[in-house]
Amino acid sequence: MTFKTYQLFLPKYANVDYELASSIILENAIQRNSFGVSALAVHGLITSIKDKGLGSIINEIDLIVPDGQPVRWALNSFYNLGMKDRVYGPELTLHVLRKANQQELNVYLFGSTATTLKKFQEFIGKEFPKVKLCGVHVDRFREATEEEDVRDIQKINQSGANIVLVGRGCPRQEYWVANHKGKVNAAMMAVGAAFDFHAGTVKQAPSWMQNNGLEWLFRLIQEPKRLFKRYFVTNSIFIFLFLKYRLILRRPY
């Protein structure tokens, strides 16, 4: 399956919806291709600009989908794509698990805490009983040593994983996916808060807030101390860049 990409400041976003994105992922998962996916919202987009390391590898990821409504609005504004909805990481995860369930594929969970992983496994077992959970890796909350990384890769590949769901938070998960292209023989999905949301350890924003690009506000209210700086800085930079490129430079890169 083919798709077109459109550059927004730095990342190249795919013009896809949930159905096409999940079908592309399943196609690569079944063949056990080393294929990278990221659901990148405003925070990830701005981080890729500020963080030179991430910026240099972000487009190594094969499929970058527009996770946030503001990203979708910006892409539609610059390219007139007519995207009807964003491709939200937690929702994309459900679409992929639903198709993996039909195909009885092997799924590996990488990242997050032991508590969240246990609850997420229970959720998958209940909602998608034909998905084969072939391995679980609790996050070290630090980067692996070279020896640990080699063992991690061997463990994943030997498990027969078709899909690796990566829940390490942005940008750690994007680094991991990009750096394991050609090493892990599976479709690797950086899906962020999907683990916590589906495990029930973190509450999702109401649909009306999600649809109007206000999910950040809901999360900020929940965790003001941790998220204030993130959202104040990244949202301000995004608005500045959008206005700069829309009104002055007339092109999104």
What digits encode the pLDDT tens for the residues 82-105?
999 999 999 999 999 999 999 999
Question: What's the pLDDT band for 197 if we cut at 50, 70, 90?
Answer: very high
pTM given for the model: 0.95
pLDDT band for position 210 (cuts 50, 70, 90): confident
Sign of the C-alpha dihedral, residues 250, 232, 206, 175? positive
Would you state the structure tokens that stand for residue 237, as one six-digit string? 């930079």
Among candidates 2, 54, 59, which has minimal Cα distance to 27? 2
Nearest Cα residue to 71 out of 96, 94, 42: 42
* Mean pLDDT computed over 198-224: 87
- Of the pLDDT bands very low, low, confident and very high (cuts 50, 70, 90), residue 59 is very high
Element (H, E) at 190: strand 187-190
Say whether pLDDT at 23 is over 90. Answer: yes
Report residue 13: phi and psi, to 5°: -85, 145
What is the spatial distance between Cα 199 and Cα 201, in angstroms, rounded to a whole number?
A: 6
pLDDT of residue 186: 98
pLDDT of residue 64: 98
Residue (of 227, 220, 137) closest to 184 by Cα position: 137
Give the rounded percent of residues in the chain with a pLDDT score beyond 90: 85
Domain ranges of the chain: 16-199, 214-249
Per-residue pLDDT reduced to its tens digit, 134-153: 999 999 999 999 999 999 99
Looking at residue 120, its amino acid is F
